[in-house]
Amino acid sequence: MSSLRPGSGSAFPSVIPRNQQIAMRHGGGGRAMRMLIEEVFMRGASDLPVDGVGLSAMDDGAAIRIGDQFLIVTTDSHVIHPLFFPGGDIGRLSIAGTVNDLSMMGATRLLGLTCGVILEEGLSFDVLERVQASMQATCREVGVPIVTGDTKVMGKGELDALVINTTGFALASRVVRDNGLRVGDRVIVTGTVGDHGLAVMATRNKLQLEGKLESDVAPLFDLVQRVLAVGGDAIVAMKDPTRGGVASALHEMAGKAGVGVLVSEEAVPVSEAARAASELLGIDPLHVANEGKALIGVRPDRAQAVLAAIREHPLGRHAAIIGTAIAEPKGKLVLDTGFGRRLLAEPEGEPLPRIC
Amino acid sequence: MNTSQLKFRDPALGRALGEKLTTVVNQIGRDPVSVMHVCGSHEQAIARFGLRSAFPRALDVVMGPGCPVCITDVPEVDEGVALALQGVRVATYGDMVRVPGTVKSLADARAEGARIEVVYGIDQAIELARQTTEEIVFFATGFETTAVATAAALLAGVPKNFSVLSAHKYIPPVMEIVTEMPGTRIEGFLAAGHAAVITGSGVFEAFVKSHGVPVVVAGFEPLDILAALVKLVELVRDRTPRVENMFPRAVTREGNRVAQEQLWKVFSPTGGRWRGIAHVPNGNLRLKEEWAAFDARRRFKIDVARLWDSAPPKLLGQCLCGEIMSGSKGPKDCPLFGKDCVPENPVGACMVSTEGTCRIWHQYGGHLDLRGIA
């Protein structure tokens, strides 16, 4: 069980000076958001007594022991602009995002989702119906029902269009944490990185790109079942690289496990269109949000078998081993560019707000 | 040749050049062999591709005064701040806004109600002027590359309510200053390819002749930089100082004659301080007499003295930006780097600008030596 204390493991000072206000970066999934949670939400909060995963672990969700199983719970609020983007929409995102967090905790049986929506006065029924249809279609794809919900309306201008919160419940017999990497373990990414964030950015900036740049938003539950079946106990860590991208998620995994990770930049799969967009925008794909990818830590002797299994899955065709856990420097990522090595800095936050 | 077929990012070629670099540096047999580049874009590429970890230990590649925002001197920032606080709308590049003056930055002025407009270039500032009758001052910073853009815009004609506060700098003279500094370790220069597109590689010939230090013009892809470094250390090894152009796909000996004419039609070089470095003879570009009508310094009475009532921020005294830009110290020597001085809360100019040494090092993870990691 990791015991992250406010500011621990960081050479940086607090990002929340006195009398300051919340800035967009505090929701960006990077260092600023982590500090916000540590310094505000975790202060004085009681945690699970024993044998579970609670808030202080800052994992993808919670695990509460019930008999010989664990109840996995996670919650996520979705704010994205625009509501409809290449490859997906806020409806699909709101289901996939929560299902993926459950999956990353090692869930093997999905029980149900809740759905709370806050609507802006003036939102058209047509938009709402399209979003609802997309949510239902994604639920069917995964095989999980929405079991309860809540609806609120706020005045025009008090929020932008639509916010969706989903909470997910699932069962697991073995919880997979994000802190299990040991020296020598391999890190697999299940496909091309940066597609979601770059697709949304390209849409907002009206970039004309050759090739198809689409969000990867997809539920990973089925893919993860295959990973767990083939890898078993050799699957030691999982995390979905959403806001802040692979760089942010891997930093968390390395920091919590007390290892470094050597990442091969040449091994990281990036689609042609995403690469073009990232060069144009000057943004590293490793810093950009994904919504249908997982980082999987696996013991070295099972890495190839797990990789092969992932590649057989339609969502995992471009999977690759991108990194190896190393003893030093602890909590840091070393990027081998092919020309040399540098540190892969932990992003302050997602380069763009309202991305998921 | 179809340039899209050129592969400037071939790691195998990169490794071969890295080995060559080690061989030549070993042949020199001194430790360290120190060379300087004078361009934020070179530092970006070196950091982005992790080149420094592949350099031989005995080779020290130092970034010099290559960040135009960083070397804009404190009194120049004060002029911009004072103008803005006097009620003039000041348009400038985004990087300039948070650069500290004696006591205040443009951002501080904005917080006090001054109107600061962030623009991507002079054209946007001129457009602002066209849309209003208010006075718009373009606070112009940058080396010969952006100075040419300022010159071309003035020559093309600007509205009457538009003027320029020039903090433009000219790189060649500062190379002399750095070379002449007591105790300097610099044995050769990498010159910035894009500036040389305008000036031509020939601009460095007089310097090489007078100072006996080689200059190699380099492009910005990792292979450009590695190949130029190999050439530079060869010249150091052979004690044959001369100018070499290793960016011939863009740079000629003569440079862009039209741009040079425009530059010298509008600007004249004058001596002035570069932040943290020294007085640089001919290092500042000021508007010529005939452009007085568009020179903010002549158009307005700029009252900088009123800024000096309050004390400068305490941490600024510990900032090593000047030493870092003259190449005598690095970010790792600074007690503030990455602790009290971070991009979201910068103390010195080097952490403000995306071309600043400290900002680049911070962006790419700090100053850990990665050469030992297996």
CATH number for A92: 3.30.1330.10
The reply to whether A285 and A263 lie within a common domain is: yes
Which of A342, A346, A348 best probes binding to B when mutated, by most B CB atoms within 10 angstroms? A342
Facing B52 at nearest CB: one of A266, A334, A340: A340
The reply to whether B101 and B166 lie within a common domain is: yes
Report yes or no on A149 lying in a domain: yes
Q: Do A339 and B18 touch (CB under 8 A)?
A: yes
The reply to whether A224 and A321 lie within a common domain is: yes
Q: Do A337 and B340 touch (CB under 8 A)?
A: no
How many residues are present in chain A? 356
Q: Do A348 and B49 touch (CB under 8 A)?
A: no
Q: Do A329 and B368 touch (CB under 8 A)?
A: yes
The reply to whether A79 and A199 lie within a common domain is: no
ipTM over 0.85: no
Q: Do A348 and B53 touch (CB under 8 A)?
A: no
Within 8 A of A337 by CB-CB distance, chain B residues are 11, 48-50, 222
What tens-digit pLDDT sequence spans chain B (374 residues)? 344 445 678 899 999 999 999 999 999 999 999 999 999 999 999 999 999 999 999 999 999 998 988 899 888 999 999 999 999 999 999 889 988 888 889 999 999 999 999 998 999 999 999 999 999 999 999 999 999 999 999 999 999 999 999 999 999 999 999 999 888 889 999 999 999 999 999 999 999 999 999 999 999 999 999 999 999 999 999 999 999 999 999 999 999 999 999 999 999 999 998 987 889 999 999 999 999 999 999 999 998 888 777 666 677 778 888 888 888 888 989 999 988 888 878 888 899 888 899 999 988 877 677 776 65
Residue of A nearest to B45 (CA): A339
- Average pLDDT on A335-340 reads 94
A183-199 residue pLDDT tens: 999 999 999 999 999 99
Looking at residue A282, which CATH number applies to its domain? Answer: 3.90.650.10
The reply to whether A285 and A237 lie within a common domain is: yes
Report yes or no on A136 lying in a domain: yes
Cα A246 to Cα B171: distance, rounded to the nearest angstrom: 39
Measured between CB atoms, does A193 come within 8 Å of chain B?
A: no
Neighbours of A114 (CB within 10 A): 16
Question: A78: distance to nearest CA of chain B, Å?
Answer: 26
Report yes or no on B38 lying in a domain: no
Contact A150, A230 (CB under 8 A): no
Q: Do A341 and B50 touch (CB under 8 A)?
A: yes
The reply to whether A229 and A329 lie within a common domain is: yes
The reply to whether A231 and A340 lie within a common domain is: yes
- Report the number of distinct structural domains present in chain B: 2
The reply to whether A83 and A208 lie within a common domain is: no
Question: A343: distance to nearest CA of chain B, Å?
Answer: 5
Q: What is the pLDDT of residue A350?
A: 65
Facing B342 at nearest CB: one of A12, A25, A342: A12
The reply to whether A192 and A324 lie within a common domain is: yes
The residue with greater pLDDT, B313 or A232, is A232
Is pLDDT at A23 greater than 90 in this prediction? no
- Average pLDDT on A123-149 reads 97
Within 8 A of B51 by CB-CB distance, chain A residues are 339-340
Q: Do B18 and A340 touch (CB under 8 A)?
A: yes
Which of B15, B57, B363, B369 best probes binding to A when mutated, by most A CB atoms within 10 angstroms? B363
The reply to whether B301 and B318 lie within a common domain is: no
The residue with greater pLDDT, B370 or A349, is B370
Q: Do A335 and B374 touch (CB under 8 A)?
A: no
Which of B46, B341, B370 best probes binding to A when mutated, by most A CB atoms within 10 angstroms? B370
The reply to whether A225 and A94 lie within a common domain is: no
The residue with greater pLDDT, A16 or B264, is B264
pTM attached to this predicted model? 0.84
Computed from CA positions of residues B205, B206, B208, B209, in that sequence, does the dihedral angle turn out positive or negative?
positive
> Between the CA of residue A182 and those of A10, A237, A257, A310, A344, what are the distances in Å?
20, 10, 7, 22, 19
Q: What is the pLDDT of residue B345?
A: 80
Question: B195: distance to nearest CA of chain A, Å?
Answer: 21
The residue with greater pLDDT, A204 or A257, is A257
The residue out of A172, A204, A237 marking a domain boundary is A172
Nearest CA to B186 among B196, B175, B195? B175
Domain around A167: 59-172
Cα A165 to Cα A142: distance, rounded to the nearest angstrom: 18
Domain around B80: 69-170+283-309
Nearest CA to A39 among A74, A4, A1, A75? A4
Report yes or no on A2 lying in a domain: no
Report yes or no on B35 lying in a domain: no
Measured between CB atoms, does B344 come within 8 Å of chain A?
A: yes
Q: What is the pLDDT of residue A19?
A: 56
Scanning A256-315 for CB atoms below 8 A from B yields: 262, 266
Q: What is the pLDDT of residue B332?
A: 87
Contact B69, B99 (CB under 8 A): yes
Nearest CA to A336 among B110, B345, B15, B187? B15
Q: Do A343 and B342 touch (CB under 8 A)?
A: no
- Report the number of distinct structural domains present in chain A: 2
The reply to whether B350 and B302 lie within a common domain is: no
